[in-house]
Each structure stands twice: as C-alpha cells, then as structure tokens.
Amino acid sequence: MADKKVWWKEAVVYQIYPRSFADSNGDGIGDLNGITEHLDYLKELGIDVIWLSPIYKSPNDDNGYDISDYRDIMTEFGTMDDFDRMLNAAHEHNIRIVMDLVVNHTSDEHAWFVESRSSVDNPYRDYYIWKEPRDGREPNNWQSCFSGSAWELDESTGMYYLHCFSKKQPDLNWDNPKVREEIFDMMTWWCEKGIDGFRMDVISMISKNPDYPDGPVRDGIYGDLGPYVCNGPHVHEYLEEMNRKVLSAYDIMTVGEAAGVTIEEAKKYANNDGTELGMVFHFEHTDGVVTAENVIGKWGYAQPKMTIVRDILNKWQTGLEGKAWGSLYWDNHDQPRVVSRFGNDSPKWRELSAKMLATTLHMMKGTPYIYQGEEIGMTNMHFTSVDDCDDIEEINAYTQYVTEHGVVSAEEMLKCFDAVARDNARTPMQWDDSDNAGFTTGKPWFAVNPNYSKINVKAAVSDPDSVYNYYRKLIRLRHENEIIVYGSFRPLMTDSETVYAYERELDGKILTVACNWTEDEQPCPLFDAKKGKELISNYTEHKQGVLQPYEARAILHDQNES
C-alpha cells in the first residue's frame, strides 16, 4: 500500500535540549531567547521542525521531565511572552515547533500531587497510584528506571505511591477519567496557542498492569517493572481517546517515545489509519544493542557490532512497511553521542565516521531526528568522578551499584558513563572557539567538552567538507528526492559484517546505499556495474569493488532512463 503523503513524513526534525543550547542572558543556562536568536542557523541547516525538550515550570529533578505546571514556563528559560515570540519567529522561518509532553508522571511539586498526598480522601487522591504496604514494605519489588524502589512511602498516610522514574516524578493514574480530561484540556490549550505537535514522553507506560505483580529479578536487587508498565492493557484505548478528543482537530505531528515497544505494538501506536499517533521511537538499536556484554542493567561500554544494529534497524524498516510510519534517530538527550558510540571519535576518523553514520540513517525510510550538536559531530565527554555528573540516572545508579551494594567498581562505572551516560549529550552546544564555546558569557551550568576549540559551529559552517555541510546536504536531498521519503526499503549484503547496505525503490528509481562501518577497506561489489547518479558520498574518489575506511555512498539509478 502506498504511503499517504503528509508533511511530517517529509520533514527533518531537530531536537533542542534548551538548557544546553544557547544562553542569552549570561546566567549559564540555555533559554528560549537563546533559541530564537539561533533560528537563522537552523533555517540554514535546512530542518523543518524543532522538537523542544520540556520548557515547562519544573523543580528540575530530571531537567524538566518533572513538571510542576504544564501551563507555565521554567523560570530559568524565560516567560510565556518569550515562548510566544519564539513560536512566532520559528513560524516566520517556516520552522514548526513540537512540544515535549510529559504526562506519564508529574513533579511531586505539581498542585495535583500536593493535594493528592495530603489525605486519603482528597479529591485528587486518585490522580496518582497509591498502594498499601505489603508485609510492612513496598507493594512489590519493582526497580525505578532511576535505581532504587519504584515506590515511595508517604509517612503522613502510611501508603506508597508509584514512581517509575525519580521519587520526585509520581506516576499519574490514567485509569482515572478525570486525569485524562485534565491532560486533554491542557493539550488543547497548547494546540490553540499554535504549536505544531507533541513528542510524548514514555507514552507506552501510561497503562499499568492492574495486578502489580513482582518483576523478574535481574541484578540481584530489584525486579524489572518493564513487562507490567509498558504497552499495558489500556494504552491503545487511551491514545485513541486522546486522538479523538484532541489530536484529530489539528494538523499536528505526534511521536510517541515508546519504551519497550515491539514492531507489533508499533503497528498499533503508529497505524496508517491515524487512530493513535503519527510515529514512535523504539529503543532496540540504542538501549538494546549491547545488553549481553553489559556490566549491569543498561550500563556497559563494549562497542556494539554493526551487524546487531543493522539487523535491528532492517527488521524495523521492513516490519513497518505499509503498516505504520517510523522515526529515525541516533542521538537524543538520553543517548551518548553517536560518533563516539557507533563511529570513531579519534581526530583521524571523527568526521568520516560521523558522515558515514549520518548517511546510513538519513537514506532510510522514516522521519529523521537530529539532536543538537550531532550535525557538527560532537563527541562524548570524559568523566573522572561521579562528581562530574549531573544526571539523576547516573548519580542514582552509582549510589546503588557502587556505593550501597558494591557490585560494580567505581572505575568500571565511570567507564560505562564515558560510553553511554546521558550526560554525554547534555554538555553545552559548541558554537565557536571563544570561552565556554560561545554557549554563555557566564559560568555554564554544566561542563563544556574541552574539544570545543576544534569542534564548533563556526568552524563547521565555514568548512565546505565539514560534518555540518554534509548534514545540510542530506537534509536537502530528502527534500528533493521523494524516493528517500517514500521509497520502499530492501536490505542488501546482509552477510557482510562490515558494510551496511540497502536499497530504496520508487516509481522505477532505485537508490543504492552502502556504508563501511570500519576503519579498514572492505569489499563491496554493489557499485561496480552500476551507472547512475551519485547523490552523496564522504569520499571524492572511489575504488572498484571496495569501500574505503568509513566510506559511504548513495547512488540513484533511474530505470526509466536506461
């Protein structure tokens, strides 16, 4: 079945993590005016949509993913007037704005939770998930995604509330129709303001298994909550209701962050009939890739094999074909930097491998997402102590595994942080080679990666061969070639352990893509007999029968012409 054409399938999205993007007033924290000031840069890059990580009022236990007021702006980021100015300016640049919608949980400082915890018969009690103790302890063995128990005892009423993330992020009770109405009203309020869509935070987790059973114990400490909170019994019903009551009234784009999603589930969330969401993010190629070799839980440092990443992505490409729309990403604010993770961030190979990875992803089917700094090939950080970290996930994991239980050494844990910590993505944007990488004139809230003197926007923009200019070209190619958006996908060379290759097809045209994921020359016969037009490559000269180190090529062949 041919895909129905809509703007968000043809768009390229750029994710902004406002705290680290650009500081306009010298307090060391990125802000809304900082974004407005850089819209020309984004226009020049060519992106169509900005996904804004949360900018709502928040005590910042999880950098804005803990919201205390959905209809107000975080003090450090500016005011509602600043927001309106940014939204208007973006629209004048033909850039749309997609808001992060964090509604699996609120902050414990949200007025609903303050009421809810005040007494068992408060009208807001049932807005959250409260349980009696079991044998004087937590209601079950679930581990929160940020370590420790997923339950917190509230002394005043003697009951526990569920928090799948930090204890300052109590989970909302979506089974309560009043909660759903409140959320739908709030979403409508933002849509009426003129925003262009929602990225829905852990939306696959809003419906819990009503039995709250113990989970399988993995690391010898707590049980896994995943199977009982992801893709729960009512999740599709609630999203259909949201679609009916809010989304369907607007021409907006929606993407669900779908922890634990399988292809079968994704076909429901992002079904082509449009009864739920536009698309989802899955985690198989990021959080799922190295599990077997990991030190503990998500923490590991082995570089994943190309074949594992490829087989996962190919499975999703072919699995969704004709059924549901997909999304494409390497990086976001929860992932390490892709050039460090799947590529090679040494000075010799950084640019070539960053371009190669970008080619691998941007020639696939689905809506691509670029995370701030990815377009200049920003790299991971190096952490020498847990004191260098800001992220609650890292700090809590360190406390649990290193300090409290001693199951991982400090050295080993820091090695894991260097490889996969979320803080790698959260260092300030590197704009130029002046102090603090031009991010702020004050003291940055978080350390700047010391490599900013080499890796920065100013240098990248003026160098025609930069990673930045390569991304610009990839974006332009997608806008100019329907085959990149709508062409069907077929894996090629699936026996290769070094070259990731595939082809796309539309209306008698074939686009052949091959990427060498290693620093050695590798056999690749795909282009030998092919004429056609080279759309993009990170090398100017090619060799017969092989791909050079980290070489990427995409050739378009029009069968109607030969």
Chain contacts with ligand GLC (rule: CB under 6 A): 62, 65, 102, 165, 201-202, 257, 333-334
Q: How far is the CB of 283 from ligand GLC (least distance, A)?
A: 9
Would you say 333 or 365 has its CB closer to ligand GLC?
333
In angstroms, what CA-CA distances link 105 with 197, 385, 388, 422?
Answer: 19, 31, 28, 20
User: Among ligand GLC, Ca ion, none, what does residue 102 contact (CB within 5–8 Å per kind)?
Assistant: ligand GLC
201 is catalytic: yes
257 is catalytic: yes
Structure tokens at 241: 């209701």
The residue to which tokens 């490409």 are assigned: 317
User: Among Ca ion, ligand GLC, none, what does residue 276 contact (CB within 5–8 Å per kind)?
Assistant: none
Would you say 371 or 517 has its CB closer to ligand GLC?
371
What track of x and - describes contact with Ca ion for positions 305 through 344 (by CB under 5 A)?
A: ----------------------------------------
323 by DSSP, 3-state: which?
coil
Q: Considering only residues 27, 154, 224, 505, which one is a binding residue for Ca ion as defined by CB under 5 A?
A: 27
219 binds Ca ion (CB under 5 A): no
> Cα torsion at 213, 180, 129, 110 (round to 10°)?
140
Task: Return the range that interacts with Ca ion (CB under 5 A); candidates 18-26, 178-186, 236-244, 538-546.
Answer: 18-26
User: Among ligand GLC, Ca ion, none, what does residue 10 contact (CB within 5–8 Å per kind)?
Assistant: none
23 binds Ca ion (CB under 5 A): yes
User: Among ligand GLC, Ca ion, none, what does residue 165 contact (CB within 5–8 Å per kind)?
Assistant: ligand GLC
**Measured distance CA(378)–CA(21) in Å, rounded:** 13
User: Among Ca ion, ligand GLC, none, what does residue 31 contact (CB within 5–8 Å per kind)?
Assistant: Ca ion
Q: How far is the CB of 429 from Ca ion (least distance, A)?
A: 13
Q: How many CB atoms lie within 10 A of CB 244?
A: 12
Strands 367-371 and 327-329: parallel
User: Among Ca ion, ligand GLC, none, what does residue 27 contact (CB within 5–8 Å per kind)?
Assistant: Ca ion
**Measured distance CA(87)–CA(135) in Å, rounded:** 52
**Measured distance CA(251)–CA(225) in Å, rounded:** 35
Q: Which residues pair with 513 in a beta bridge?
A: 502, 554
Return the residue nearest Ca ion (CB atom).
Answer: 31
Four-residue CA torsion sign, 457, 459, 462, 465: negative
Angle (deg, nearest 10), helices 467-480 and 350-362: 20
31 binds Ca ion (CB under 5 A): yes
25 binds Ca ion (CB under 5 A): yes
Catalytic position from the list 138, 201, 265, 331? 201
| R_g (Cα) of the chain, nearest Å | 23
User: Among Ca ion, ligand GLC, none, what does residue 29 contact (CB within 5–8 Å per kind)?
Assistant: Ca ion
**Measured distance CA(505)–CA(363) in Å, rounded:** 12
Q: How far is the CB of 442 from Ca ion (least distance, A)?
A: 8
The residue to which tokens 């004709």 are assigned: 322
Which helix (H) or strand (E) segment holds residue 468: the answer is: helix 467-480
Q: Of 342, 278, 290, 289, give the one whose Cα is nearest residue 315.
A: 289
Would you say 110 or 553 has its CB closer to ligand GLC?
110
Would you say 124 or 431 has its CB closer to Ca ion?
431
Beta carbons of 546 and 532 less than 8 angstroms apart = no
Catalytic position from the list 171, 196, 257, 375? 257
Beta carbons of 540 and 520 less than 8 angstroms apart = no
Return the residue nearest ligand GLC (CB atom).
Answer: 65
Q: How far is the CB of 431 from Ca ion (least distance, A)?
A: 14
Q: How far is the CB of 258 from ligand GLC (least distance, A)?
A: 10
Q: How many CB atoms lie within 10 A of CB 296?
A: 19
Active site residues: 201, 257
Which positions touch Ca ion (CB under 5 A)? 23, 25, 27, 29, 31
